[in-house]
Amino acid sequence: MSKKIVVYNNVERFFHYHLVHLVAFLTISGLPVLSHTFDFIAYGLGIPVAALTNSQNILSAGMSALRFIHYSSAFLLTLLSVPFVFMIVRKIAHLSMWPDRWGVQATIDGFKEMWKFYIKQEHVRFGKMNAGQKLFAQIVVITMIVLAISGYMLIFRESISSDLATYARAAHAISFIIFGMMLIIHLYLAVHPTNKNSYDAMFHTGTMDEDFIKEHHGIYYDKLKKENKI
Amino acid sequence: MSVNMKCYDTTPCIRCFACMVGCSVENRLRLQRESHIGIEKSVQNRLTYLSHLSPQRREFGSFPNARQVTAFHHCNHCEDAPCLEICPVDAIIRRDGKEVVVVQETCIGCSSCLDACPFDVPVIKDGKSYKCHGCYDRVENGLKQSCVSACPSSAMFSGTKEEVLKEAYKRAKLYTEKTGKEHVVYGADEVNSTVGELRWVTIVPKEDLEAYKLDTNPKKLVMSAREAVKVVGSVGSVAIVAGSIGHLIYWLGKRKEKISKGEVEEK
């Protein structure tokens, strides 16, 4: 039987697990502010809230409740991020999101490898993450930092200038839209049959078979071998 | 009901600020009437958020050619009001006379209107947004707006759009002939695509538009960028979902083909 290798530690899995529902809460509660297209969310929540609070306006009641959920989720996510960020900062230079090779040619090669794997279904030697996953992780980290900073600026907007608050509102929306598009790709690939082992490792076991890593994540396998972790 | 319009004529204005006092008094009276707040309470505090018309006195030039102008800061009741568009709870409505009005009972004080307004007009106080409502209650009952009623020099006048523009253009033409300086009616024509026409127009020498802080291109670039990214985001998200479904169908077909050729094992 193949040896089990820990690919996601408990802190990473705990953070990701709770990140899923907190991001879901933040997205659902933020969308009606972004666009009237999502007013139905506020109306849906507004009906029971208005009935309970004896409010005359369903949309306002729903939006106020959504704002409470948005602020609470943001606060919880901030708390949750503390140990994760602490862990990440300690090994910042060795994160999987950094490219194994830098430069334009390396990037092109990375995407060629992805093309072979996802389109041609050929065998490819990836690191722990492929080029797309690395790019995704970098964009998500940047957008989440912008979202957090601009979000807190908006919560405490009375302490900053009106112009700065307007910039924060725009930055919050723009970074969310970029984050949202990345999230759709991430969700699709997370549940894609080819990534079942990664899904199981993140949500259930935290581990992958040594043979699987050797076959599908050859560069990562070599790295683990070099570091005497296998 | 026809479109109601107000006009501020900078030439006969004697800077007595009766319009601003009238506005403040009228809103305090509304507070007493609608919120049942006693007159003592409503006058004990300054309640600056109830003064929807505020003066911004500015000085230009140097002696002996120095002069003073008083720019008015107020809601323009834009034809394409960005505040009304962005309000997530539809608390900003347009009355029959086209006055753009905040419904206090509905407002949740999210400040979206403040961020969207290119004239920085709404004031957020105690979780509610406040701005000029064009005294729609007075107008709908046959009265003039409080600021217009208070003006002793006909520097402010109001009526239907046709009446106001007719008088405004007549005055602008007269001032141009008498002074030799071109006078314009700011806001009568579409100012830009963000706000459209304004329902509060101003007769002003063209060279003094900037002095009176009358922006010829009122726009918040950052909010325009936000709107543009929303469109890109909507199209992009649909494209990503369609692409993902397409990829899954392609991938499953290709895998089936490989399995049938015996190139991969079925799991």
A215-224 pLDDT per residue, tens: 888 888 888 8
B246 and B177, same domain (yes or no) = no
Contact assignment for A181 to B240 by CB distance below 8 Å? yes
pLDDT of residue A128: 82
**Any residues with CB less than 8 A from the CB of B39 and at least 6 apart, and which?**
B32
Asked if A33 is an interface residue toward chain B (Cβ–Cβ < 8 A), one would say: yes
pLDDT of residue B168: 97
* Whole-number Å distance between alpha carbons of B245 and B251: 10
Q: Which residues pair with A207 in a beta bridge?
A: A6
A59 is written with which tokens?
């949309």
B204 and B148, same domain (yes or no) = yes
Of the candidates B105, B107, B115, which has its C-beta nearest A165's C-beta? B115
3-state secondary structure of B53: coil
**Upper half-sphere CA count for residue A174 (Cβ side, 13 Å):** 17
Range(s) of the domain holding residue B258: 220-267
* Whole-number Å distance between alpha carbons of B201 and B222: 26
B215 and B241, same domain (yes or no) = no
A218 is written with which tokens?
């050859």
pLDDT of residue B170: 97
Task: Choose one of B186, B201, B219: the last residue of a domain.
Answer: B219
Give the count of domains, chain B.
2
Min Cα distance B265 → chain A (Å) is 13
B95 and B150, same domain (yes or no) = yes
Decide if B135 contacts B22 (C-beta within 8 A): no
Phi-psi region of B120 (alpha: psi -120 to 50; beta: other; left: phi over 0): left
B86 and B179, same domain (yes or no) = yes
B142 and B114, same domain (yes or no) = yes
Task: Choose one of B179, B199, B219: the last residue of a domain.
Answer: B219
pLDDT of residue B1: 66
B97 is written with which tokens?
């006379």
Say whether the ipTM exceeds 0.90. Answer: no
pLDDT of residue A1: 61
B100 and B229, same domain (yes or no) = no
Asked if A212 is an interface residue toward chain B (Cβ–Cβ < 8 A), one would say: no
B175 and B58, same domain (yes or no) = yes
Contact assignment for B115 to A174 by CB distance below 8 Å? no
B255 and B162, same domain (yes or no) = no
B207 and B244, same domain (yes or no) = no
Q: In the predicted model, what is the mean pLDDT of residues B2-16?
A: 93
The CATH number of the domain holding residue B95 is 3.30.70.20
Which tops the pLDDT comparison, B67 or B42? B67
Residue A225 has pLDDT above 70, yes or no: yes
B130-156 pLDDT, tens per residue? 999 999 999 999 999 999 999 999 999
B177 and B129, same domain (yes or no) = yes
Q: What's the pLDDT band for B123 if we cut at 50, 70, 90?
A: very high
Mutation for B interface: A188, A192, A195, most B CBs within 10 A: A188
Contact assignment for A174 to B220 by CB distance below 8 Å? no
CB < 8 Å to B89, chain A: 42, 57, 59-60, 63
Instruction: Compute CA A96 distance to the chain's CA centroid, rounded to the nearest angstrom.
Output: 15
Q: What's the pLDDT band for A74 if we cut at 50, 70, 90?
A: very high
Contact assignment for B110 to A63 by CB distance below 8 Å? yes
B230 and B199, same domain (yes or no) = no
* Whole-number Å distance between alpha carbons of B136 and A61: 26
Asked if A30 is an interface residue toward chain B (Cβ–Cβ < 8 A), one would say: no
